[in-house]
Amino acid sequence: MRRIAAGLAAAALGASVLATAATPAFADEPDPDFAGGNTSLALDANPEPAWRGKPIRLDGKLSVQCEDDYISGFVQVLHSDACKKQERWHRLAWKRIVILFRPNGTGKWEYVDSVRTGRDGYFHTRVQARTSGTWRAVFEGARHLEPSEATDYVKVIGRRHR
């Protein structure tokens, strides 16, 4: 990808691209210096504490760190996203986030929902408050993006109806 970026940057500046013709521009060989974009996932569950049977809103944001290894010249690894020069973190659009729940007293995560980030990198979903426990959002990673996750504990109050 860096070879393609270097060729496109040179072409954009009016320089000759013949210097890069000796190495294949579209080689599928992995770049050993590229580890992937460092991602960050944030999650917030509201209200806290929640009333049993009432909805809990799960909000979050998925971002990638803008680094020299990640953005190269005029070409970025993500095809539809770009970092501005003043940004340290850039929000990622249209990525899949898996929502899991672990009730108090258990060690098993339960699948709840799968959502996508919007064009601004934020995601939202509503779930019903059943019992106290930990909510977890997971970004499983993508091509050139490292996985990340976030958790938030919510205490549920109110009686159980038996």
Distance from C-alpha of 1 to C-alpha of 22, rounded to nearest angstrom = 16
Distance from C-alpha of 41 to C-alpha of 147, rounded to nearest angstrom = 9
* pLDDT score, position 23: 35
Q: What percent of the chain has pLDDT over 90?
A: 48
Q: What is the pTM of this model?
A: 0.69
pLDDT averaged over every residue in the chain: 75
Please say if the pLDDT value at position 78 is more than 90.
no
Measured CA distances, 89 to 67, 92, 108, 139, 141 (Å) = 9, 10, 32, 16, 16
Q: Is 5 helix (H, G, I), strand (E, B) or coil?
A: helix
- Computed on alpha carbons and rounded to an integer, the radius of gyration of the chain in Å comes to 21
Model confidence pLDDT, tens digit, residues 22-68? 333 333 344 444 456 788 999 999 999 999 999 999 999 999 887 64
Give the pLDDT mean for 137-151: 90
Residue 43 contacts residue 58 (beta carbons within 8 Å):
yes
More confident residue, 2 or 103: 103
